[in-house]
Structure 1
């Protein structure tokens, strides 16, 4: 009989955070280069409305050379973006190629069925997608939201205050929103893991029921995302209306100032717009992290 001292320690539970940390440590150099380019993109994006406002005022006052410098900044934005996209593909295609084999071997050791292994290998791609697609969007959204709010505090103080109040308002709903998403992804991924075996043996009525349930779960997730978009759209429409009325009564504002304020508000709104999709991806990744053993990577 084994004593507690001699027994093998229990494996640490899988989690999305541990997997992302392992991938980050293993591919740190590639990821640092990629995210330096993301940071450079964000800096140019944040400066864009302010420099556009200066360019508009330069055009109005006939300072053509100053106005043309705006075109140089536009070229820099696209050049940095092109470099990031080129490096992204090389970096993340190789990361996934190195991730897939350890995932398969780990699931084999745990004696999962072939259908479960196939599903989990496909799901593991979401970890790479997080670094390639969702983390840059998250970084850009956070930088744009905070940067736009700060710039609005400087340019149109009460609009900036309203932006901060909007952030606090939506933050109150985050815990409940993410818990419900996690529950839906738990049910969805449970079915996806069993799909290959189910397709091979289930009768016709069971197949119809299976795909009907998958459809309803995906529709529920989509509806929640749509509700999030509508809520954000309603609040930002009120923000635009109140700011436009304030600037109209304020008077004496030059065209560049008005353009900068409107563009920073639009940046704030569009970055908030990414929130529902990012929350959905977070919930999906959290559930996948509990299923997929990547401890051997």
Structure 2
């Protein structure tokens, strides 16, 4: 298989739809079983309290199948995404051969982040989405207030992330641009003189400054979202203990699904942040080479 057109995440999915579809199917099955685990554990608890073992055997069988799926998917993923990474690396080198080595080196690393997103972060978002849906259905079926609380948590979390989206994009753009200057600074004939005047030290300080800004924004977003999760968990605990004739297994189910819903919901804004970074990387990988060579040359001379 060959990559065609622009180097984007969607292009990778389309051009390698065979292996990607298999990994997504295995991921769907794995997470569907994973989402059922709290419910099966709750049923097993109630069954054992009533001296019945059928639900326990059902739980054991489901966990065995889950183990086989999880192991098989991870082994397949490594091989499938390794092949995609190989083709992407060749395509990036062909497209950017007219740019300085510093830029080509950095963008090879940035391009690999597209594969890392498909292999690691996208499955996490996929898993979170399935967990959110399953948890919301179970919670809403137990009490309507639990369902509305789940919906409210997702909406407010996405609102919090949207407030920081523009900052994440701009900070990533500035950080990536600064990274592209590093090899040029180190390999230039003027490096010794530039180092004496502190050019490379200024470069390192700029890298640190952009990384700090990104980290601070992540911390503010995470802190605000975790505050919302705290309210959600406390609300659901309050509602669950007020339900009539609630069993120990059902109480466990409510508490577990509430916490797993909160954890999964937390993964969505973090995944969207990664998506924001990848959108900036895709724009960078698909820039016009000739026009960019000129602008990079000017920027390099100004940086020394």
Match of 1:96 in 2: 85
Q: How do residues 124-163 of structure 1 correspond to structure 2 at under 5 angstroms? A: 124-163=111-150
Matched, 1:78 2:67: yes
Aligned residue among 197, 207, 228 for 2:184: 197
Match of 1:19 in 2: 8
Aligned residue among 198, 201, 226 for 1:233: 226
Q: Does the 8 A contact of 2:158 with 2:269 survive in 1? A: no
Distance in 2, matches of 1:174 and 1:234, equals: 14
Match of 2:236 in 1: 243
CA gap of 1:294–1:99, structure 2 versus 1, over 3 A, is: farther
The C-alpha deviation readout for 1:33-55, integer Å capped at 9, x for no partner, is 11100100111012111111111
Distance in 2, matches of 1:30 and 1:242, equals: 43
Match of 1:293 in 2: 286
Q: Does the 8 A contact of 2:160 with 2:221 survive in 1? A: no
The C-alpha deviation readout for 1:217-266, integer Å capped at 9, x for no partner, is 11221222222222222212222222222222334200111111111111
Between 1:195-204 and 1:209-218, the stretch displaced more is 195-204
Task: List gaps (5 residues or longer) in structure 2.
Answer: 289-304
Distance in 1, matches of 2:218 and 2:109, equals: 23
Distance in 2, matches of 1:197 and 1:256, equals: 62
Match of 1:272 in 2: 265
Match of 2:39 in 1: 50
Secondary structure of the residue that 1:173 maps to in structure 2?
helix
Secondary structure of the residue that 1:250 maps to in structure 2?
coil
Q: TM-score, normalised by structure 1?
A: 0.88
Task: List gaps (5 residues or longer) in structure 1.
Answer: 1-12
Match of 2:291 in 1: none
Offset of residue 294 of structure 1: 9.6
Distance in 2, matches of 1:246 and 1:222, equals: 36
Offset of residue 203 of structure 1: 1.6
Matched, 1:69 2:61: no
Matched, 1:220 2:209: no
Distance in 1, matches of 2:145 and 2:225, equals: 19
Q: Which has the higher contact order (CA 8 A, sep 6+)?
A: 1
Secondary structure of the residue that 2:95 maps to in structure 1?
helix
Matched, 1:282 2:275: yes
Q: TM-score, normalised by structure 2?
A: 0.86
Distance in 2, matches of 1:174 and 1:249, equals: 33
